[in-house]
Amino acid sequence: MQTIPYQRLLPALLLACLLPAAAQAHTINYELAKLSQGNVGWTYLKLGFTHILPLGLDHILFVLSIFFLSPRLSTVIGQATAFTVAHSITLGLAMYGYITPLPAVIEPIIALSIFFVAVENMLVRELKPGRIAIVFLFGLVHGMGFAGVLTELGLPPSDYLVSLLSFNIGVELGQLAIILGAWWLVGHWFSAKAWYRQRVVHPVSALIALVALYWTIERTFL
């Protein structure tokens, strides 16, 4: 299946997620500002990890969708790294006030990204170069979603960059935990089997796609 037509739509969807904004004041958390730099870093690392595991069901399903197309650790981690780089960019831009994400647009597109990748798993038999670009573009959108978490909590003024980096590291560790867990439970044992796609990839991807489709409708109309 050719995914090029969808790739042409993704930049337009991305632009719809935000409005340009002048740099604005950071969201400050003065309580956390009392902590040492090490404690601040540890606090935000834990926040990033728990935002994925166990709280980020939509992000868990996205990472699992990445995993099931090609369960080889090298290809999955490559896609996850592209995703991390992308969400780090938009998260940083949002937290420094250079972009203003629109939650009413971002949340449905996050759900739609899960649906898209899950459906692609059932239609494409092997990883193609365009998949990395798709994951990267969707990562930009997910980063705007992560910004909502940090905006609510705020960041300490003296350790702003440390907090952002620690949060991103925590997110990456959460993603790696999902990937390694899925690989150990499923990929390592069954991915080489002739029936793997029909009995594992297709039903699991179909279930993820149905959940994501429901979220897309719910977040758009309800």
Q: What pLDDT, in 10s, does the model give residues 48-94?
A: 999 999 989 999 999 999 999 887 888 898 898 899 999 999 998 98
**Tens digits of residue pLDDT in 91-116:** 989 888 888 888 889 999 999 999 99
Domain assignment present for residue 47? The answer is yes
Q: Give me the domain span that covers residue 55.
A: 37-221
Domain assignment present for residue 15? The answer is no
pTM: 0.84
Domain assignment present for residue 174? The answer is yes
Domain assignment present for residue 25? The answer is no
**Tens digits of residue pLDDT in 153-209:** 777 777 778 888 999 999 999 999 999 999 999 999 999 999 999 999 999 999 999
Q: What confidence score (pLDDT) does residue 29 get?
A: 54
Domain assignment present for residue 137? The answer is yes
Mean per-residue pLDDT over the chain, rounded: 84
For 213, how many CA atoms within 13 A lie in the half-sphere containing its CB? 9
Domain assignment present for residue 7? The answer is no
Query: Which phi-psi region, left, alpha or beta, contains residue 167 (left: φ > 0; alpha: ψ -120 to 50)?
Result: alpha
Q: What is the count of structural domains for the chain?
A: 1
Domain assignment present for residue 154? The answer is yes
Domain assignment present for residue 12? The answer is no
